[in-house]
Amino acid sequence: MTQKHVGRRMTRTEDPRLLTGQALFVDDVQMPGMLHAAFLRSDYAHARLVSIDVSAARERPGVVAVFTAEDMGDDWKHGPPLVSPPPTVEDIVFHSRTHVPLVKDKVRHAGEPLAIVIAESRYIAEDAVEDIWVELEPLEAVVDLEKALDPGAPLVHDDLESNLAAHLVQEKGDYEAAKAQADLVVKRRIYIDRGAAGAMENRGIVAHWDVRAQQLTLWDTTQAPIPIRNGLAAMFGLSSHQVRVIAPFVGGGFGPKIMMYYPEEVLLTWATLKMGRPIKWIEDRRENFFATTQERTQVHYGEMALTKEGRILGVRHDFLHDTGAYDPYGLTVPLNTQSHAMGAYDVPNYSSELKVVFTNKTIVTPVRGAGRPQGIFLAERLLDIAARELGIDRLEIRKKNLIPPDAFPYEHKIIDQAFAPLVFDSGNYLATLERAAAAIGYEKFIAEEQPRLRAEGKHVGLGIVSFVETTGVGPYEGARVTVETDGRVSVATGVGTQGQGHFTSFAQIVADQLGISPRDVRMVTGDTAEFHWGTGTFASRGSVVAANAINAAALSVRNKVLKLASKILETPEEELELADGQVRVADLPHRAIELGELAAMANPLRGAVEPGTEPGLESTDYFGPKYGATANGAHAMILEVDPETMMIEIKRYVTVEDCGTVLNPLILEGQIHGGVALGIANSYYEQLVFDENGQLLNASLADYLIPSATEIPPIEVLHEETRSPLNPLGSKGAGEAGTIPVPSLFAQALEDALQDYGLEILEMPMSPNRLFELLHEESKTP
């Protein structure tokens, strides 16, 4: 078999529909008799609910129903946790506090829903929200992560002794002993703040309980349709076959759309079951800023111990992680931070104490990067500072410490986000870094260009960093591949798609196995009626776990095709080939049979089917990796700062990615570009600003600055390819790779550009304002 399609820059099969406005997004769903929901949400971040009076809202013409927590009776429950809480291993403290559909007693973050209005139109529903009379008694809000743990701090959850949500210590080797041997120990406090995922499509749901068919259908902007179906069925006492969840085209996910069960998912389902009419809710952008999950706030007290030659002896960081008002996503994000706090480096000793903290802010779940950018920021920053103090070149110190190619699988002896041992499977970390250095022209820039530009009065700096990305975690995904009688192939899988080009890269895999054109693959993703086993699109799992399941199913079908064709063509299987939609005898291409014809023969209407054979040319297979793969890469950039305005111009941006086998370079490049753009946003433009009352001060796209085409530079994408040994395709996934190293890269490049100021950047995001403040705090002039 010749590998023809995997690895090709193929244009996307899903595009013709998307580009013409014909692709279905949730808000495009229209149903006869459909009602519209709107929510009353708390303006306060922390408050006691004293009373709520919805009578005026109920009387407004066009309003069909208004519900509060009280109206839900016994159906009012805390949501189940999304990620199972940590196993009760030694020394882990974990207080699971999950959110509720509607506030009953106490508001814990601004934007928490207090009541749902269901009306004939969205306009009327929003009018009626204004009719509700609610009395809230404001409480002191928990906002600052460090003050949250002060004795006497107000409590987010009154039944807990403090705002500590979790406590976990991880140790590798003996950091203190290593530190005692060290020539240099650098210590810094590092702060990273919150951002929004900012998908262009806000969340939305259409829920419909068809009373006669006894069938619940939910169109949902989710990254995890199957778990949503299973959860809703369990919650409402339905069989899972009575619930169909469809994640149609989704306008960007980036993490928060895997959260479940959002209060709106539960409430719309509950309401349609009660009312028997379809109900639509579409989040508006303001709600999105309060009610859709966010990520990133952490405070680290970090240390790195090194020899005078620049070898890292150990890393220690004690850190606080903000989980917001509840912690349904368990420890995934801060465990990812720990998995990345040693970066791409061979670090023999590590010690980390994590405290997860409840605050009166929106719930935290992964946002593209998912704890990894913070870990990489810590490792890269401490290494930069150490290099400076030791007088070692920053590229040299990195090369000295990268995990060498012969050290894989590299066991880190700590646990990862799945509570499994953290192991980096494969890679050539030195190669990616050297390639990035060569591409950006590191030596020449430092030796010639920078001095020349500085002499001209230009503040130009370079950054270069390495990173890893743990990807493609289990447990598993599955797929069903079917040859249709028209010769085309249908593929169904459980993961939804939010723009990653799954339709195309998955089709390329199937095309190679079955000798057809990828254009002849019909792909269904994200519809539980088509496939109902799986977990969802997160941690770059699509191109690893789902892709390998599809490969396995396509391979099984290939074997069935060969077996049947061998009988019909009276030729041994080894002499057959699959190409051009046919099975044929390799040496006698005229002795051939069309795949479609074969599919019809495999499912005869009369006659006998041999015992033990399954009808049709179809197979369902699953793939679950032994453990997650780890991608690696290096980013480099050159930027110029205008010291008057603190505006920056990125002169060049280079990425080298090693994400194993590349399924489709065109799609991969797009993923990297988008990831880098988010990283740049996280580094210099976007910050969710909360005041001391837990009020978000910039809850609109006019105030929260998502970069446009004039801020994001052209990005050069280069590849290295180290196949993962953990799956047959050898893929690793790259959904988050673009984002992860960018803040650390920015910090280094800004310092380099402003080296006369002796600036140290220990926080993210930066912004022109913040940079200006920092330079004035230092009150140093060049």
Partner 1 sequence: MNIEYPISVTVNGTRYDRDVEPRLLLSDFLRHDLGLTGTHVGCEHGVCGACTVLFNGQPVRSCLMFAVQADGQEVTTVEALGTPDDLHPIQEAFLEAHGAQCGYCTPGFFMTLVPFLEENPDPTEEEIREAIAGNLCRCTGYQHIVDAVKLAAAKLGS
146 binds, among ligand FES, partner 1, none (CB under 5 to 8 A by kind): none
Q: Which residue is nearest to ligand FES (CB)?
A: 200
Exposed/middle/buried for residue 651 (C-beta within 10 Å: 0-12, 13-18, 19+): middle
Q: Of the two residues 48 and 285, which places its CB atom closer to ligand FES in the complex?
A: 285
Which part of the chain contacts partner 1 (CB under 8 A), choosing from 144-152, 247-255, 290-298, 721-729? 247-255
Interaction of residue 252 with ligand FES, rule CB under 6 A:
yes
Contact pick of 498, 537, 661, 731 for partner 1 (by CB under 8 A)? 498
Cis peptide bond upstream of 782, omega within 30: no
76 binds, among ligand FES, partner 1, none (CB under 5 to 8 A by kind): none
Site for partner 1 in 35-54 (CB under 8 A): none
Site string for partner 1, 326-365 (x = CB under 8 A): ----------------------------------------
Question: Stretches 308-316, 632-640, 688-696, 702-710: which one binds partner 1 (CB under 8 A)?
Answer: 702-710
**Nearest residue to 43 via CA among 128, 103, 95, 91:** 103
How far lies 322's CA from each of 17, 163, 261, 750, in Å? 41, 10, 20, 27
Contact between 250 and 25 (Cβ < 8 Å): yes
The DSSP call for residue 763 is E
Q: Which is nearer to partner 1, 21 or 151 (CB)?
A: 21
Choose between 244 and 502: whose C-beta lies nearer to ligand FES.
Answer: 502
**C-beta closer to partner 1: residue 27 or 618:** 27
CB of 120 to ligand FES, least distance (A): 23
Residue 367 or 555 with smaller CB distance to partner 1 = 367
> Contact region for partner 1 (CB under 8 A) — 109-117, 245-253, 463-471, 559-567?
245-253
3-state per-residue secondary structure call for 649-701: EEEEEEEEEECECCCCHHHHHHHHHHHHHHHHHHHHHCCCCECCCCCECCCCC
Q: Are strands 421-424 and 582-585 parallel, antiparallel or unpaired?
A: unpaired
Q: How far is the CB of 223 from partner 1 (least distance, A)?
A: 12
Site string for partner 1, 726-765 (x = CB under 8 A): ------------x---------------------------
Q: What tokens appear for 522 in the block?
A: 């019909």
Rounded Cα distance between 363 and 332, Å, is: 13
Q: By CB under 6 A, how many residues form the interface with ligand FES?
A: 3
Buried b (16+ CB within 10 A) or exposed e, 156-165: bbeeeebbbb
The answer to whether 708 contacts partner 1 (rule: CB under 8 A) is yes
Residue 449 burial by Cβ neighbours in a 10 Å radius (0-12, 13-18, 19+): middle
CB atoms within 10 A of CB 489: 29
Among 83, 431, 701, 718, binds partner 1 (CB under 8 A): 701
Q: Tokens 């679950």 appear where?
A: 624
Distance CA 259, CA 363 (A): 10
16 binds partner 1 (CB under 8 A): yes
User: Which amino acid appears at position 315 of this protein?
Assistant: V
Distance in Å, CB of 224 to partner 1, minimum: 16
678 binds partner 1 (CB under 8 A): yes
Shortest CB 434 distance to partner 1, Å: 25
> Is 677 a binder of partner 1 (CB under 8 A)?
yes
499 lies in the binding site for ligand FES (CB under 6 A): yes
The minimum distance between CB 142 and partner 1, in angstroms, equals: 30
- Distance, CA of 743 to CA of 374 (rounded, Å): 8
* 93, 160, 200, 697: which one binds partner 1 (CB under 8 A): 200
Site membership for partner 1, residue 249 (CB under 8 A): yes
Q: Is 96 exposed, middle or buried (0-12, 13-18, 19+ CB in 10 A)?
A: middle
Please list every residue from 142 through 201 that binds ligand FES, using CB under 6 A: 200
Instruction: Identify the H or E element spanning 410.
Output: strand 410-415
- Report the side by side order of strands in the sheet with 133-138: 106-107, 47-53, 133-138
CB of 605 vs partner 1, minimal distance in Å: 34
User: Is residue 334 near ligand FES by the rule CB under 6 A?
Assistant: no
Interior/surface letters 253-281, b for 16+ CB within 10 angstroms, e for the rest: bbbbbbbbbbbbbbbbbbbbbebebbbbb
**Burial of 456 by CB count in 10 Å (0-12 exposed, 13-18 middle, 19+ buried)?**
exposed
**Dihedral angle of Cα 136, 141, 143, 147, to the nearest 10 degrees:** -170
How far CA 426 is from CA of 64, 152, 624, 633, 722, in Å, comes to 59, 48, 18, 12, 7
Where in 192-221 is the site for ligand FES (CB under 6 A)?
200
The entry of ligand FES, partner 1, none near residue 254 (CB within 5 to 8 angstroms by kind) is partner 1
Residue 32 in the binding site for partner 1 (CB under 8 A): no
Are the beta carbons of 650 and 637 closer than 8 angstroms?
A: yes
Compute the distance between CA of residue 580 and CA of residue 625 in angstroms, rounded to an integer: 32
Which residue in 3, 11, 214, 559 binds partner 1 (CB under 8 A)? 11
Q: Of partner 1, ligand FES, none, which one sits near residue 15, judging by CB under 5 to 8 A according to partner kind?
A: partner 1
Q: Does 19 bind ligand FES (CB under 6 A)?
A: no
Distance CA(753)–CA(325), nearest Å, equals: 39
499 touches partner 1 (CB under 8 A): yes
**Angle between helix 372-390 and helix 332-340 axes, rounded to 10 deg:** 30
Which CB, 710 or 781, lies closer to partner 1?
710
Tokens in use for 636?
A: 């480099």
The CB-of-369 to ligand FES minimum distance in angstroms stands at 17
Asked if 222 touches partner 1 (CB under 8 A), the answer is no
> Which residue bears the tokens 């996503």?
329
Query: Mask: binding to ligand FES, 578-597, rule CB under 6 A, as x and -?
Result: --------------------
Q: Does 22 bind partner 1 (CB under 8 A)?
A: yes
Q: For residues 755 and 762, give the distance between their C-alpha atoms in angstroms, rounded to a whole number.
A: 15
674 sits near partner 1 (criterion: CB under 8 A): yes
- Please identify, among the stretches 184-192, 560-568, 676-684, 744-752, the one whose residues bind partner 1 according to the rule CB under 8 A: 676-684
User: What residue ranges bind ligand FES (CB under 6 A)?
Assistant: 200, 252, 499
Binding site for partner 1 (CB under 8 A): 11-12, 14-23, 25, 27-28, 30, 61-62, 122-123, 197-202, 249-252, 254, 284-285, 498-501, 666-667, 669-670, 672-678, 700-702, 706, 708-710, 712, 714-715, 738
